[in-house]
Amino acid sequence: MSPVSFAEFSKNPISAVAFIMLGVVGFLYYDSEATKKELIANCKNENIVLAKKIELMQRKIKQSDSLVMAYKFDCDLYLLAMENDSTIITNLMKKNEKDFGNF
């Protein structure tokens, strides 16, 4: 049995269509709420993934900053040695040969 019979529809078609539209609007509202909840869940999962990527990138930036500072220190040390005394360079070269071998 349909919610609106043909006899009721023929007597008052506007109220019958309004009643059917009420059901349609209710269904669309329910569907939109379900879709919204699904989108929120997907966004939370994506935020977790992006947070992990950001954390990894921050770690890599710290590592690269550390390397840059180490190389800067080495360059400053070598420049200081070249400006002041050549014996410091020979001592550093001997130390590097002992630590790393000849390249």
CA distance 85 to 48: 55
- Of the pLDDT bands very low, low, confident and very high (cuts 50, 70, 90), residue 103 is very low
In a domain, 45, yes or no: yes
pLDDT tens track for 71-98 = 877 787 777 777 766 666 677 667 666 6
In a domain, 54, yes or no: yes
In a domain, 75, yes or no: yes
CA distance 88 to 97: 14
Count of domains observed in the chain:
1
**Contacts for 92 with CB less than 8 Å, ≥ 6 apart:** 77, 78, 81
**H helix or E strand, kind and range, residue 22:** helix 13-84
Please determine, for residue 63, whether its predicted confidence score (pLDDT) is greater than 50.
yes
CB-CB contact of 82 with 89 (8 Å) = yes
In a domain, 80, yes or no: yes
The model's pTM: 0.48
In a domain, 1, yes or no: no
51: containing domain: 6-100
In a domain, 49, yes or no: yes
In a domain, 12, yes or no: yes
